[in-house]
Structure 1
Amino acid sequence: MPAKIYRPARTAMQQGQAKTHEWVLEFEQAAPRKIDPVFGYTSSTDTLQQVKLKFETQEEAEDYARRHGIAYRVMQPKESTRKAVSYSDNFRSDRAQPWTH
């Protein structure tokens, strides 16, 4: 059963970097999900989809996968670039586009 090792990105609802410094080992989907015709909930026979292991470093996650014989792939995180934005830039006289309501 293959797994992926990645560092989660921050959610769109948060400004900070909370929960983005740990590495996660998550198993790939092995069996398709099915919709129950009576109740309408989604189910699967694959219980490994529910497992999400967290590690401090990428090396720890890789070592765990090797020790337990888990095939894995590492997804490197994309570092975000921080843009210096100032509120006063909205009112500059040399602004590229005019500021209007």
Structure 2
Amino acid sequence: MLARIFRPSKTAMQSGKGKTHDWVLEFEATDARRADPLMGWTQTADTESSQVRLSFETKDEAVRYADQHAIAFQLIDPHPARRIIKTYADNFAFGRKVPWTH
């Protein structure tokens, strides 16, 4: 039973950083998913990987929890976000590499 401890990134549907401040402990799947013959949904017999997701305020709390419960884990540190700061006037700059046109 291997777990991952990580800090989730924002989804493509978010413009803000909601639900990205907590650390998450998620279990890796031990069983392969298979399609249900009747409905076509994917199913698995492993409930830990698909239904158990624990949230912690700090990385240390998540690591301590995994150590106390003898859970092997992989710690994934977040990558710093690359910020490209531009202004609207940069779209019309004279030294622009690609000319602005309709």
TM tier relative to shorter chain: over 0.9
Determine whether 1:89 maps to 2:93. Answer: no
Q: Deviations for 1:4-50, whole angstroms, at most 9, x for unmatched residues?
A: 00000111222221111110000000111121112212111101011
Q: How many residues align?
A: 101
Residue 91 of structure 2 aligns to a residue in which SS?
helix
Residue 25 of structure 1 aligns to a residue in which SS?
strand
- 1:86 CA drift (Å): 0.5
- The share of aligned pairs that are identical, in percent, is 50
TM-score if structure 1 supplies the norm length? 0.94
Amino acid across the alignment from 1:13: M
Q: Which runs of 5+ in 2 are unaligned?
A: none
Which residue of 2 is the match for residue 77 of structure 1? 78
Amino acid across the alignment from 2:71: I
Determine whether 1:37 maps to 2:31. Answer: no
Residue 62 of structure 1 aligns to a residue in which SS?
helix
Deviates most, 46-55 or 88-97: 88-97
Which residue of 2 is the match for residue 28 of structure 1? 28
- 1:96 CA drift (Å): 1.8
Which residue of 1 is the match for residue 48 of structure 2? 48
TM-score if structure 2 supplies the norm length? 0.93
Q: Deviations for 1:71-91, whole angstroms, at most 9, x for unmatched residues?
A: 000011011022111011111
Query: In structure 2, what is the Cα distance between the partners aligned to 1:38 and 1:97?
Result: 53
Kindly report the root-mean-square deviation, in angstroms, between the aligned alpha carbons of the 2 structures.
1.0
Amino acid across the alignment from 1:69: A
Query: In structure 2, what is the Cα distance between the partners aligned to 1:92 and 1:34?
Result: 54
